[in-house]
């Protein structure tokens, strides 16, 4: 699949880049995408939720009334879960939500996600560029030149570029990542994926290298 390389201004450069069929034109695997997205979101969870059980509530352990003869249900102490302020039964406890996903499944998921974007013509390739200083306005101008200002975008850089990252950090619909950090969730969550020219080969090498 050939894609035209655009200038920072949105104009054609006259050059084209050939996107590898092994990455951008495979048979998509929806279940692999589901597993990788599920794993990514699970890994974001802190898992620090906690409620107090009966033995952790501060209060008297004295039996509040006699066992029989009151006409009411039997009850223990004031920390009983049935009472207001009592402990919680089977409440949330700190836990780790992350789970292991095989590398081949993750690679298949990323290839599948990129294939979907390629099929939808939602991939653009820019010639290599950089900003002299962090300026959000410059990044907005870039998106306007590509007619993507109102879209969710994912910009894939070959390596971390502080000025570009800082320029797009405050934009709600813009996400910036590097070729070695690209993930299925970000690709699927974006309406359009923008590759910098030299990041294309890095992504292809990353997803095609022997496991």
Q: Which of 35, 59, 91 lies at the terminal end of a domain, its last residue?
A: 91
Same domain assignment for residues 121 and 192: yes
Is residue 98 within 8 Å of residue 42, measured between CB atoms? yes
CATH number for the domain harbouring residue 23: 3.40.1370.10
Same domain assignment for residues 66 and 139: no
Q: Quick one: which of 161, 167, 125 has its CA closest to 16? A: 125
88-91 long-range Cβ contacts below 8 angstroms, 24+ apart: 88/51, 88/52, 88/53, 89/53, 89/54, 91/50, 91/51, 91/52, 91/53
Q: CB neighbours of 166 closer than 8 A, spacing ≥ 6?
A: 134
**Residue numbers of the domain that contains 157:** 2-46+97-208
pTM: 0.83
Is residue 28 within 8 Å of residue 112, measured between CB atoms? yes
Mean pLDDT of the chain: 93
Same domain assignment for residues 101 and 142: yes
- State percent of the chain over pLDDT 90: 83
At residue 10, the pLDDT reads 81
Same domain assignment for residues 185 and 157: yes
Same domain assignment for residues 112 and 57: no
Model confidence at 211: pLDDT above 90: no
């Amino acid at each position: 699949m050939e894609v035209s390389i655009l200038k920072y201004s949105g104009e054609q450069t006259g050059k084209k880049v050939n996107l590898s069929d092994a990455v951008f034109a495979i048979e998509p695997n929806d279940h692999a995408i589901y597993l990788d997205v599920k794993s990514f979101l699970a890994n974001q969870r802190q898992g620090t939720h906690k409620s107090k059980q009966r033995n952790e509530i501060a209060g008297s352990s004295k039996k509040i009334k006699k066992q029989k003869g009151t006409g009411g249900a039997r009850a223990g102490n004031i920390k009983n879960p049935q009472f207001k302020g009592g402990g919680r039964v089977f409440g949330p406890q700190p836990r780790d939500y992350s789970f292991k996903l095989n590398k081949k499944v993750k690679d298949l998921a990323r290839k599948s996600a990129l294939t979907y974007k390629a099929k939808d013509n939602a991939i653009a390739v820019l010639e290599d560029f950089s900003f002299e200083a962090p300026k959000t306005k410059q990044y907005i101008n870039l998106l306007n030149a590509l007619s993507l200002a109102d879209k969710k975008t994912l910009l894939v850089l070959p390596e971390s570029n502080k000025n570009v990252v800082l320029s797009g950090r405050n934009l709600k619909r813009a996400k910036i990542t590097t070729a070695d950090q690209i993930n299925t969730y970000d690709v699927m969550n974006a309406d359009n994926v923008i590759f910098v020219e030299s990041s294309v080969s890095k992504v292809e090498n990353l997803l095609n290298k022997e496991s």
